[in-house]
């Protein structure tokens, strides 16, 4: 069994804890569904990042709220690149899987779809 990375991103309209948590839950649910992850034991760890303009809450709180209580989670801030997408939440899930790299589905929602126009799956 390999450890694979699954990427995802979304955005919010404003920096509020409610919006950040809601958008993060939506993103995580879509990632889990798209990659047929049914048990949190399959998830090795998750790294969340936010653009520098999001400071209201930790996106990892949304993961804990949906049941990822034993999954190691980390939050960080993205580099403040001038042309980067504002109010953006990103995640990198590390999962144990028998899937090949080409079978992994990365998910980009809302304005974050602009980050990876080459990825049409699950959007």
Residue positions annotated with a catalytic role:
7, 64, 75, 78, 90, 108, 116
Pair 50, 77: CB distance under 8 Å:
yes
Tell me how far apart the alpha carbons of residues 120 and 15 are, in angstroms, rounded to a whole number. 27
Pair 115, 123: CB distance under 8 Å:
no
Tell me how far apart the alpha carbons of residues 5 and 104 are, in angstroms, rounded to a whole number. 8
């Amino acid at each position: 069994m390999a450890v694979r990375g699954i990427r995802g991103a979304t955005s919010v309209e404003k920096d509020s804890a409610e919006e950040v948590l809601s958008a993060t839950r939506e993103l995580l649910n879509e990632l889990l569904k798209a990659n047929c992850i049914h048990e949190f034991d399959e998830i090795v760890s998750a790294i969340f990042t936010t653009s520098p303009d999001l400071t209201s809450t930790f996106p990892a709180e949304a993961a804990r709220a949906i049941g990822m209580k034993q999954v190691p989670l980390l939050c960080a801030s993205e580099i403040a690149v001038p042309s980067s997408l504002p109010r953006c939440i990103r995640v990198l899930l590390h999962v144990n899987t028998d899937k090949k790299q080409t079978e992994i589905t990365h998910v980009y929602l809302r304005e974050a779809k602009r980050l990876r126009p080459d990825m049409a799956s699950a959007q």
